[in-house]
């Protein structure tokens, strides 16, 4: 069901034309919402679902909607790798059940994504410029 909802959300994001200048910020908000959902699942004692939600936020939105590629090209590969690492670190913390660490890393990731979205929008990076495997 979660995968279905994520797919529907991604299709809607792709189908609705982005407002000039806010595509990446909107995408960052959608990813942040999934991270918040994962954090809530972890708090509710559902670590497997929480880790799956983080994985889907990464692969289903951050990577597949080309935010990672845009960051790599516009900001640098180290920055994109560091952001990617945060997703992995969050999954690991969820597996360990470290709730305080989960909360802190989730907040840092959400804040970083918001900054990245603003930076990409400010640089006028088009939403559909990055091809698969670019």
Residue 78 lies in a domain: yes
Structure tokens at 78: 């180290």
Residue-wise pLDDT tens digits, 7-16: 445 444 444 4
pLDDT score of 15: 42
pLDDT score of 74: 94
Residue 104 lies in a domain: yes
Task: Return d(Cα 105, Cα 89) in angstroms, integer.
Answer: 8
Q: How far are the Cα atoms of 63, 65, 68, 69, 130 from residue 133, in angstroms, in the given order?
A: 10, 12, 11, 9, 8
Residue 132 lies in a domain: no
Residue 67 lies in a domain: yes
With pLDDT > 70 as the criterion, what percentage of the chain qualifies? 81
Residue 9 lies in a domain: no
Looking up residue 55, the CATH number of its domain turns out to be 1.20.120
pLDDT score of 58: 98
Task: Return d(Cα 81, Cα 63) in angstroms, integer.
Answer: 12
**77 pLDDT above the threshold of 90:** yes
Average pLDDT rounded to a whole number, residues 91-106: 94
Q: Which residue range is the domain that position 65 belongs to?
A: 21-122
Question: How far does CA 70 lie from the centroid of its chain?
Answer: 13
pLDDT band at 18 (very low <50, low <70, confident <90, very high): very low
Average pLDDT rounded to a whole number, residues 86-102: 95
Cβ neighbours, 10 Å, residue 54:
29
Number of domains in the chain: 1
pLDDT score of 4: 44
Q: How many CA atoms lie within 13 A of 84 on its CB side?
A: 16
Mean pLDDT rounded to a whole number for the chain: 87
Task: Return d(Cα 113, Cα 52) in angstroms, integer.
Answer: 19
Residue 7 lies in a domain: no
Residue 15 lies in a domain: no
Residue 52 lies in a domain: yes
């Amino acid at each position: 069901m979660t995968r279905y909802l994520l797919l529907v959300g991604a299709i809607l994001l792709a189908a609705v034309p982005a407002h000039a200048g806010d595509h990446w910020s909107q995408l960052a908000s959608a990813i942040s919402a999934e991270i918040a959902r994962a954090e809530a699942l972890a708090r509710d004692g559902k670590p497997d679902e929480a880790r799956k939600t983080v994985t889907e936020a990464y692969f289903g939105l951050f990577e597949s909607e080309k935010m990672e590629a845009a960051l790599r090209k516009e900001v640098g590969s180290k920055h994109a790798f560091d952001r990617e690492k945060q997703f992995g670190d969050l999954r690991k913390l969820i597996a360990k059940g470290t709730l305080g660490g989960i909360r802190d890393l989730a907040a840092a990731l959400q804040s970083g994504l918001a900054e990245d979205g603003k930076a990409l929008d400010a640089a006028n990076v088009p939403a559909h410029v990055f091809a698969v495997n670019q």
